[in-house]
Amino acid sequence: MSTPPARLLHFLLPLSLAIILTDAATPPSEADALLAWMSSLGDPPELSTWTNATSLCSKWRGVTCDSSGRVSSLSFRNLGLAGGLDKLDSSAFPALAELDLNGNNLSGSIPASLSRLRSLSKLDLGSNSFDGSIPPQLGDLTGLVELRLYNNNLVGAIPHQLSRLPRIVHFDLGSNYLTNPDSRFSAMPTVQFLSLYLNYLNGSFPVFVLGCRNVTYLDLSQNTFSGPVTDALPARLPGLRHLNLSSNAFSGRIPASLASLTMLQDLRIGANSFTGGVPEFLGSMPELRILELGGCPLGGPLPPVLGRLQKLQRLYVSWAGLVSTLPPEMGNLTSLYFMDLSMNSLSGSLPATFARMRKMREFGISSNRLTGQIPGVLFASWPELISFQVQNNSPTGEIPPEVGKATKLNFLYLFSNNLTGPSRRRSARWSTFSSWIYR
């Protein structure tokens, strides 16, 4: 065969090169991309419906398509998948809006190539074992509304690029090993749910948070933030309903400005270094359902105004240095089902008015200085009671026979008191307790 003329070679060579480059740039089909990823995971049985013999859009587990037949959602929540994401070709999914891999055993780094998923509105990689740093390229996902990377092993500074996500509403990076973002991390005015709990964040209250003016849920707990909580917080975040600053090193008084958070339902600020007593303004926050102040050296009395919190369900003020009697007004907490006032210096007797707390399930007031008799009416009035702990006090008299009326009671701790009888033989109910301690 004769050699092609030079003029013909001059024409064919660029054409062949163009064909090769075009073929290399063409992404695989969505089915081929998923099958390749499945192979990298070891062909898990949970994805056994993924075969070329079945319809991608109607038969493949976890795959949803839009009206044009393009993959719009990949949801493989809690399937026990193990492996990584490096073999998932993001370029094959131009219409993917949702990627949910929560609750698997996936590991390795989060690939920067996920930033090619330009239609993505939800990315949930929570509760896996991803490590390495967060790719700053995720900040290019301009349509992202929900970002969940919590409960992984991610390290390094939080990339400032994430703060420029223009539509982000749900932002959860909790339970990792992340450190402070640099000063370029700006406010996120669209975010409503902001969780950075259990990381290695420190310093004063983060300034960028105060610019997230639409936040309703804020969790900065279990870090090492320190110093006072800024008085400006309520004015800057007026819509807060859930505020968790617990287990940090915040100090000073609990800001009185918090009283202006009229929609606040959940306030958890325990395990800090707050002082100055339990503030009375808390009694003027009518929407509170959860109030946790335990583990702070607050001191002072338990204010009677807390009895105004008609919607309060959980009250935790253990290890707070409280010195007072128990206000009878707290019997007005008719929605309360959990109370822990243990490890304080509360004195006097248990008020019989507490019987009005008819939803009470878990009652703990151990290691205080209580005296007097335990009102039997409490057991007769608390039909849902499962735990009653008053050990390490000084009540006197007989154990109320009404204890037998608390038919759901499993934990009765009465040791290290000055109580007498009745013996267990006086009530068959004693034998059904999971934990019965009296001596």
Quick one: 427 and 283 in the same domain? yes
Please give the Cα distance from 88 to 84 (Å, whole number). Answer: 8
Is position 220 within any domain? Answer: no
Backbone angles phi and psi of 278, in degrees to 5? -75, 115
Quick one: 192 and 284 in the same domain? no
User: What does each C-alpha distance from 186 to 135, 158, 386 come to in angstroms?
Assistant: 17, 12, 47
Please answer whether residues 419 and 394 qualify as being in contact, where contact means their C-beta atoms are separated by less than 8 angstroms: no
H-assigned helices in 303-422:
377-381
Give pairs for 119-124: CB < 8 Å, separation 24+: 119/72, 119/94, 119/95, 119/143, 120/96, 120/144, 121/97, 121/145, 121/146, 121/167, 122/97, 122/98, 122/146, 123/99, 123/147, 123/148, 123/149, 124/77, 124/99, 124/100, 124/148
Quick one: 280 and 195 in the same domain? no
At 437 the pLDDT is 56
What pLDDT, in 10s, does the model give residues 17-51?
444 444 445 778 999 999 999 999 999 999 999 99
Please give the Cα distance from 439 to 437 (Å, whole number). Answer: 7
Question: Structure pTM?
Answer: 0.91
Please choose, from the candidates 112, 118, 156, 119, the residue with its C-alpha nearest in 3D space to the C-alpha of residue 138.
Answer: 112
- The answer on pLDDT for 189 being more than 80 is yes
H-assigned helices in 339-387:
377-381
At 428 the pLDDT is 44
Quick one: 148 and 44 in the same domain? yes
Q: What is the CATH number of the domain that holds 337?
A: 3.80.10.10
pLDDT band for 372, please (50, 70, 90 cuts).
very high
Please choose, from the candidates 374, 368, 425, the residue with its C-alpha nearest in 3D space to the C-alpha of residue 402.
Answer: 374
List, in sequence order, every beta strand (DSSP E) within 46-192: 63-65, 71-75, 82-83, 98-100, 105-109, 122-124, 129-132, 146-148, 153-157, 170-172, 177-179
What pLDDT, in 10s, does the model give residues 399-410?
999 999 999 999
Is position 239 within any domain? Answer: no
Quick one: 437 and 338 in the same domain? yes
Is position 228 within any domain? Answer: no
Please give the Cα distance from 400 to 379 (Å, whole number). Answer: 8
What is the pLDDT averaged over residues 213-231? 98
Quick one: 287 and 414 in the same domain? yes
Is position 401 within any domain? Answer: yes
The two tokens of residue 121 are 């509105």
Pairing verdict, β 411-413 and 435-437: parallel
At 4 the pLDDT is 54
Last residue of a domain, one of 171, 200, 229: 200
Q: Identify the bridge partners of residue 403 per DSSP, sorted by sequence position.
A: none
Is position 23 within any domain? Answer: no
What is the pLDDT averaged over residues 230-256? 98
At 435 the pLDDT is 53
Last residue of a domain, one of 200, 230, 265: 200
Quick one: 38 and 185 in the same domain? yes
At 25 the pLDDT is 57
What pLDDT, in 10s, does the model give residues 87-123?
999 999 999 999 999 999 999 999 999 999 999 999 9
Is position 247 within any domain? Answer: no
Quick one: 158 and 61 in the same domain? yes
Higher pLDDT, 424 or 172: 172
Number of domains in the chain: 2
Is position 426 within any domain? Answer: yes
- The answer on pLDDT for 306 being more than 70 is yes
What pLDDT, in 10s, does the model give residues 315-367?
999 999 999 999 999 999 999 999 999 999 999 999 999 999 999 999 999 99
Please give the Cα distance from 270 to 340 (Å, whole number). Answer: 13
What is the pLDDT averaged over residues 235-263? 98
The two tokens of residue 90 are 């993001």
pLDDT band for 419, please (50, 70, 90 cuts).
confident
Is position 421 within any domain? Answer: yes
At 436 the pLDDT is 54
Residues 6 or more apart whose CB falls under 8 angstroms from that of 176 comprise: 149, 150, 151, 152, 153, 154, 155, 198, 199
Enclosing domain of residue 191: 32-200
The two tokens of residue 383 are 């039909």
Please choose, from the candidates 436, 397, 394, the residue with its C-alpha nearest in 3D space to the C-alpha of residue 416.
Answer: 394
Please choose, from the candidates 264, 202, 199, 203, the residue with its C-alpha nearest in 3D space to the C-alpha of residue 233.
Answer: 264
Last residue of a domain, one of 177, 200, 223: 200
